Amino acid sequence: MPTTRLILASASPRRRELLVGLGLAFEVVVADVTEHEHPDAEPRAMVAHNAALKADWVAARHPEAWVLGADTTVFINGTVLNKPADLAEARAMLRRLAGRTHTVYTGVALRRAAEGVKEDHGVTSLVTFKPFDDAVIDSYFRLVNPLDKAGAYGIQEGRELIIAGWEGSFTNIMGLPMEVTKQILTQRGLLG
C-alpha cells in the first residue's frame, strides 16, 4: 500500500500553521541547505529554485514520503527583499515598501523520490502598503518579529498598521498558497 506520509520541508511556523488547517497529519523536516537569496535575483526563479532545493534535500532522505517545499520573497523595483539580517535592515525594508505596491512570489515544490515525482508551481500576489513613518514602524515592531519574514512583515498580524490592501492569494503572502497546495495534495490522493 503506498504511503501517504507527508513531510513539510520548512522551518516556517506560518507554513506549519497553514498546513495544520487542512487537518492532515504531517512531519516537519528542515532541509540543511543554503538558499539562494541575492537581492538582484529574478524572484520567480529564485523562489522556485529554493523550494525545489529544500524539497529535493528532504525527499532524498525520505524517498517514500511526499515532501512539500516552499519559498517566498518580496520584490519591489527590481530588488528582492528576503528576511532582514537585523532590525535596522527591517526598518529600511519597511520604509522602502511604505506607500507603494510590491509583489510577493512563492515557489511550491512537491516531491516523492521513490516515484520520481517532481511537481513545481509558482504563485504571485500584490500587496499595497499605506504611507507611514518611523513611529508606525516602531508600533509594528512591538507587535511583530520582522526578522523571520521576507520583506520584514507578515500579513497575518498587525496589518491594519501598514497594509492598505492586497490582490491574489492571502495565504501566498503568508508563505504557502493554500489554493495550489490543496489542489496538488488532492490530485495526489493526500487530501480527500
Residues that are catalytic: 71
Under 8 Å between Cβ of 163 and 128? yes
Which residues have C-beta within 8 Å of that of residue 69, sequence separation ≥ 6? Answer: 9, 10, 31, 50, 51, 52, 53, 54, 55, 56, 58, 108, 109, 110, 111
Under 8 Å between Cβ of 151 and 175? no
- Dihedrals phi, psi of 133, to nearest 5 degrees: -115, -175
**Cβ-based burial of 36 (10 A; exposed 0-12, middle 13-18, buried ≥19):** middle
Amino acid at 40: D
